[in-house]
Amino acid sequence: MGILEGKKGLIVGIANKHSIAWGIAKACVKQGAELAFSYLEPFESRVRKLAEELGSEQVFELDVTNDQHLQNAPKEIEKRFGKIDFLVHAVAMAKKEELAGRFVDTTRDGFKLALDVSAWSLIGLTKALLPVMQNDASVLTISYLGAERVIPNYNVMGVAKAALESSVKYLANDLGPEEGIRVNAISSGPVKTLSASGIGDFGQVLKWQESTSPLRGNLSLDQLGPTATFLLSDLSAAITGETVHVDMGYHIMGSASLGAIKRLKDLEK
C-alpha cells in the first residue's frame, strides 16, 4: 500500500513531461493517490493526455491570474472529489527579457507579473480551496535556491521565490491552528523545464551544479517526486512552514573545490 493510498489531490502547473509538476504527479499516483489536474487554455489537450496516462479524467481550466477561475476552482473540485487531501502548486512565470542581464533593469510590469503568478497565486489558490480541503490537508509549492542567493540571470524570479518561501511560513502559521493544514515548499535543484529554458545561460547553471554538488549530478524528476509524496503524506504530519532542499546537496556549498573546477573544465571541452 502506498503512502498516499486513499488520498485525493489537485496538481496545478503541468505543462509537459519535463514539468516538475509531472514528476510529482507520477510519484503521487505510484503511491496510491487519485488526482485532478488544472490547465491553461493553450495546453488543454496536452494536459488531458498526460492526465489520462495517470488514469485521471479530472481536468479543468484554471488560470491563477483570473479571479473568476479561482472562485470556480472549489466548485470544480467539489464536483469531482468532494474534498481534497493535498494541493501541489507548481506555478511560476516571468517575462523572458527579465531573466537575462542585470536585476536593476527589472521593469515594474515584469516585477508585478512575476510576483503575482509565482508568489501571490499560492495565497490566492490556497484561500480559494480552503472550503474543499480536509482538515489535515497538505499544501506543497516549488521554490529554488535563487530565493536565498544570487543566481546569475534568475533576477526577478529570485525575488518572487523569496516571497513564495516567506508566504509558505505565513500560510503555515495561519492554517495550522484551526484547519490543521500544513504548508511546505521544495527548493528544487535546476531541472530542464519549459520555464527554465527562458533563463539566460541555463546550460551553464546545469554544468556548474553537476560538477560542484556533493552528489555530483543534476536532479531528475524521479528523484524529486518521492520527497514530494513524503511531504504530502501523513508521514510528515509534524512538518510545516519548511523549505526542503532537494538539489543534490548543492545549497550547502560555499565555494567549489579545485577538483570540482577541474571537472567543470572537462565538461566544457
pLDDT 10s digits, 218-260: 888 899 999 999 999 999 999 999 999 999 888 888 765 555 5
Residues annotated as part of the active site: 144, 154
Average pLDDT over residues 145-164: 95
Would 241 be classed as within a structural domain?
yes
Q: pLDDT grade, residue 214 (50/70/90)?
A: confident
Query: How far, in Å, CA of 92 to CA of 113, rounded?
Result: 10
Q: What confidence tens digit (pLDDT) does each residue in 31-61 have?
A: 999 999 999 999 999 999 999 999 999 999 9
Assigned domain for 212 exists? no
Provide the residue count of the chain: 269
* Residue 157, all three cell numbers: 524570479
Which one is predicted more confidently, 206 or 159?
A: 159
Q: Is residue 213 part of a domain?
A: no
Asked if the model's pLDDT at residue 121 lies above 70, the reply is yes
| Cell numbers given for 4 | 498516499
Number of domains in the chain: 1
pLDDT band at 180 (very low <50, low <70, confident <90, very high): very high
The grid coordinates listed for 178 are 484551526
Q: Report if residue 32 sits inside a domain.
A: yes
Q: 207 lies in a domain?
A: no
Q: Bridge-partner residues for 144, per DSSP?
A: 188
CA separation for the pair 180, 170 (Å, rounded): 14
In a domain, 151, yes or no: yes
CA quadruple 75, 81, 87, 90: dihedral, nearest 10: -80
**Residue 233 maps to a domain:** yes
Pairing of strands 8-12, 133-144: unpaired
The CATH number given to whatever domain includes residue 232 is: 3.40.50.720
On whether residue 265 sits in a domain, the answer given is no
One-letter amino acid of 8: K
Identify whether the C-beta of residue 205 lies closer than 8 Å to the C-beta of residue 246: no
User: pTM score, two decimals?
Assistant: 0.91
Structural domain harbouring 192: 8-199+219-253
